[in-house]
Structure 1
């Protein structure tokens, strides 16, 4: 952590919540931060390289982000942390859960998450790459896409992740938009099936970021999972 300048937004007080944005940047999860800040202590980092934040040349790979955020939880001595990851941020959250030897994570919410290699499914990144652009708008900027590839590579997946998820016992909720054109609900079902203690929910009429496109329905599902 001392060698990396981390941009971190904090809001609210209470149980800790870590919100991890996807390729579209911090603005795409702003309503999640606002929602949980009402009764929780929300930490919302900007992944290095997004929004003109510095990313050292050596800082590559999704594992670098996962370890950095686990270090953040350890440095703050946070436990029973709710980790919510959207899209690319969901991949980071999943990699955190795989590596959470200190059992810092209490609950996991993955929303339209990418990460594992699932046969027959490709990631269709808006703006190009990963098998074709997805016509859903408000996707990553060209600069964000370049940064995401520095972490995720051109394949946008990790062929080892699906098997590693079998060891994750953290209660998990996977939330998918019915009309997600980046990663299909079938991809999400396979993702959820790899996690031993998971639930899978589809949000009718929503696309890749359900909390932005159908916020009332998506947030109600997440709150129900958490017993809020």
Structure 2
């Protein structure tokens, strides 16, 4: 299905599964395929909503829709329109930034728990974001997807105000990091987690920037324990 929150703005939305709880899944730079394991994990027992950010996977992005705040407000509106409460948000990489901005702005208290997987967003001193470059001849991220990421994220690919804002987020948060992440190392993740009022930080050995793909058993065990499904 497609959302149309504004004229000229269409957002593809996976709406699958069924259950008492709603899980919102937000993808990172790899696009919607990068979070398919998360959608598949939750769909048997929850309603899962997984939008494609405008600009990814060939979707149009209007020029005026150009900030992380645009995404955060749009997805909060989605939860309101769906009358969703007690929402678990699970977000990867760039999606973690969007999810964090949602939590900061969630005046309707629709989000109850937050899981961030190797998220970007805050400006952490000494840890500039380094988007990975594939080896010569190897497939890399879609250039159009990366252009969309930069349009939302800005030249620094970070928001220097975000860390201070996160102290206002009272919901429990779980931040999971791949031990070998070269985009945002675990030290970045520790600073990210420390900015929340109630956050737990976990490192997954043998994983990089997408632990739910590279070490799914360990990653989902942490998530299930955090959400009470262990």
Q: Is the contact made by 1:17 and 1:40 (CA closer than 8 Å) also made in structure 2?
A: yes
d(CA) in 1 for partners of 2:127 and 2:99?
Answer: 20
Secondary structure class of the residue paired with 2:30: coil
Paired position in structure 1 for 2:49:
43
Paired position in structure 1 for 2:110:
104
Secondary structure class of the residue paired with 1:84: strand
| Alpha carbons of structure 1 residues 101 and 50: separation in structure 2 relative to 1, 3 Å | same
Paired position in structure 2 for 1:53:
59
Deviation larger for 194-203 or 138-147: 138-147
After superposition, the C-alpha distances for 1:136-188 in whole angstroms (9 at most, x for unaligned) are x7753211110101100110000000000000001100000000000000000
Q: Is 1:119–2:120 an aligned residue pair? A: no
Displacement of 1:204: 0.5
What is the alpha-carbon root mean square deviation over aligned residues? 1.4
- Structure 2: which 5+ runs fail to align? none
d(CA) in 1 for partners of 2:63 and 2:11?
Answer: 15
Q: Is 1:72–2:78 an aligned residue pair? A: yes
Paired position in structure 2 for 1:130:
none
> Residue 7 of structure 1: which of 8, 12, 28 is its match?
12
d(CA) in 1 for partners of 2:140 and 2:218?
Answer: 21
1:1-228 maps to which residues of 2 (within 5 A)?
1-3=5-7, 4-14=9-19, 15-127=21-133, 140-228=141-229
| Alignment size in residue pairs | 222
TM-score for the superposition, normalised by structure 2: 0.94
Secondary structure class of the residue paired with 1:82: strand
d(CA) in 2 for partners of 1:167 and 1:186?
Answer: 22
Displacement of 1:118: 0.5
Secondary structure class of the residue paired with 2:6: coil
After superposition, the C-alpha distances for 1:60-93 in whole angstroms (9 at most, x for unaligned) are 0100000000000001110010001100000000
d(CA) in 2 for partners of 1:139 and 1:87?
Answer: 16
| Alpha carbons of structure 1 residues 101 and 61: separation in structure 2 relative to 1, 3 Å | same
TM-score for the superposition, normalised by structure 1: 0.94
d(CA) in 2 for partners of 1:219 and 1:116?
Answer: 25
Q: Is the contact made by 1:12 and 1:41 (CA closer than 8 Å) also made in structure 2?
A: yes
Displacement of 1:2: 3.3
Secondary structure class of the residue paired with 2:89: strand
